[in-house]
Amino acid sequence: MASTVLVGTQWGDEGKGKICDLIASEFDAVVRYQGGNNAGHTIVVDDKKYGLHQVPSGIMYPDCLSVIGNGCVVNPAVLLEEIDMFERDGISTANLKVSGNAHVIMPYHMALDGAFEARLGTAHIGTTKRGIGPCYQHKMERIGLRMQDLLDEAVFREKLERALAKVNPELEFIYQLPTYTVDEICASYLPMAERLRPYICEAGILLNELVAAGKSILFEGAQATLLDIDHGTYPFVTSSNCTAGGAVTGSGVGMKHIDRVLGIMKAYITRVGSGPMPTELAYESEAGHTLTEVGAEYGVTTGRRRRCGWFDGVIARYAAQVNGLTDIALTKLDVLSVFDTIKVCTAYDCNGVRYTSLPEHQASFAAAVPVYTELPGWNCDISQCKTFEELPQAAQDYVHFIEELTNTQISFVAVGPEREQTIVRSWAYQ
Ligand code: GDP
Ligand code: IMO
Ligand code: MG
């Protein structure tokens, strides 16, 4: 069966966890390919809600392998907390694997993340302060520690010493923060390493063996297209490649094995942290307040209130292009049920220039004023609809409008947080 990349198409929190959990049972493995515990993916099963940060959203299925790929960064303490949470609830983690090449988030990464954000002042990124940026920075500088290093104390100590030789002066002299010793980090990390030992493996080899045996893989993206380090709204982005291409580098599986790219797209848009967002509505405005509260738009990881706005068709088209989307899952359509009319942005005016594609230059994007098309609302509860035909005509028209904007088929329409609250239209594997 075919393998699929599942990718966020906006600024995150589109409902990736929900859709991943919905379709994971159709695959032999689910692989996270980038990001770390900055992610917060929600799964709701039988009224029970799980917020996942590190563990792939296929974990609910005992026959599905859950892999944290080499492109990820891992906070061992958070991973162990998640493992314990699942085991307590009777959900086995026997099928969880962590790539030995994934990088380890260290205490000084979190300290540096917070310190640099403070130093930026009003120009701060609004990071999750989980140490993600500094961990990827050290990966690129080639002074990072990897999960495999946790397995050999001598190696861990040697590499840690080298890293601290660079990090401690930075902490002390640039940020006036406490420094770290090899011994204190070893004291907290090595016991965790012993617990994680059974999970750490050569994930690239494992995944390629699966592919060779004709098995299928679902690649679960974290964050989203506009937060991608290359293709997002730099510098207000995360520090990894969240777009579909990251699935290849972040897992070790060749691109010829990937058949479909499923973009997760919220029926409106949200953003956490700083940076431009053309369709943003003030929380104080009626529509802004309604989207936030009806959509329950508060972060899974940091609890921050998400900035909300109308659907941005320019971004949607861009995401379809940069990820090569074959399918879209449109989520949270039910949240729009309260509106009499619904706006969709179809273009930007940037300093007198009309853009229907995403402006590449930051100054133009920051100046973008949305050009809206107004569509009629449907004003009724759609959360129990099971088929596309059951949706009111105005809701169907909204879905068709987005299909035309993106030139991509909408294969799923989600009308509530539960697994079952999803209309499956044209998914390839049905
Ligand atoms: P992710 O980071 O992309 O996995 O998304 P989050 O879990 O951070 O945020 C999505 C939120 O919307 C979660 O609380 C989900 O339970 C919820 N959700 C997902 N799909 C739907 C939907 O179709 N309707 C409603 N009302 N909520 C949804
Ligand atoms: P999921 O996977 C929404 C945002 C942060 C900040 C920027 C950089 O749940 O969709 P970082 O800590 O990564 O260096 O922060 O990226 N951000 C997210 N926003 N959803 C996420 O993950 C995010 N992960 C990071 O708010 O603006
Ligand atoms: Mg999230």
Domain residue spans of the chain: 4-101+199-260, 103-196, 266-424
Ligand of minimum distance to the alpha carbon of 42 = 1
SS3 154: helix
Which CATH topology does 266-424 take? Adenylosuccinate Synthetase; Chain A, domain 3 (3.90.170)
Residue with tokens 């563990």: 55
Q: CB within 6 Å of ligand 2 — which residues? A: 8, 11-13, 38-41, 125-128, 130, 132-133, 222-224, 227, 238-239, 272-273
Q: How many CA atoms lie within 13 A of 99 on its CB side?
A: 29
Ligand of minimum distance to the alpha carbon of 38 = 2
Token output for 93 = 């983690």
Residue with tokens 């293709």: 231
Are 315 and 358 in contact, with CB atoms under 8 Å apart? yes
Pocket probe for ligand 2: among 37, 38, 78, the residue whose CB has the most ligand atoms within 8 Å is 38
Active site residue 400: no
Q: Is the CB of 385 under 6 A from ligand 1?
A: no
Within 10 A of 237 (CB to CB), how many other CB atoms are there?
Answer: 22
Ligand of minimum distance to the alpha carbon of 12 = 2
Q: pTM for the full model?
A: 0.97
Q: Phi first, then psi: what are they for 26, rounded to 5°?
A: -80, -5
Nearest atom (ligand 1) to Cα of 294: 26
Token output for 4 = 């699929």
Segments of the chain with pLDDT less than 50: 430
Q: Which CATH class is domain 4-101+199-260?
A: alpha beta
From CA 398, how far away is CA 329, in angstroms rounded?
14
Which CATH topology does 103-196 take? Adenylosuccinate Synthetase, subunit A; domain 2 (1.10.300)
Please tell me what DSSP assigns to residue 174.
I
Please tell me what DSSP assigns to residue 85.
H
Residue with tokens 């917060």: 40
Helix (H) or strand (E) holding 345: strand 341-350
Please tell me what DSSP assigns to residue 376.
E
Active site residue 152: no
- Over its C-alpha atoms, the chain yields an Rg (Å, rounded) of 22
**C-alpha distances in angstroms, 240 versus 71, 178, 272?**
8, 28, 17
Give residue 13 CA to ligand 3 midpoint distance, Å.
4
Listed in order, strand segments (DSSP E) in 256-323 are: 258-266, 269-271, 280-281, 307-309, 311-312
Pocket probe for ligand 2: among 127, 234, 243, the residue whose CB has the most ligand atoms within 8 Å is 127
Helix 182-196, helix 153-169: angle, nearest 10:
140
Pocket probe for ligand 2: among 139, 223, 240, the residue whose CB has the most ligand atoms within 8 Å is 223
Q: What is the dihedral of CA 15, 17, 23, 27, to 10 degrees?
A: 140
Res 430: pLDDT:
42
Q: Is the CB of 245 under 6 A from ligand 1?
A: no
Helix (H) or strand (E) holding 398: helix 393-406
Nearest atom (ligand 1) to Cα of 20: 4
Res 135: pLDDT:
98
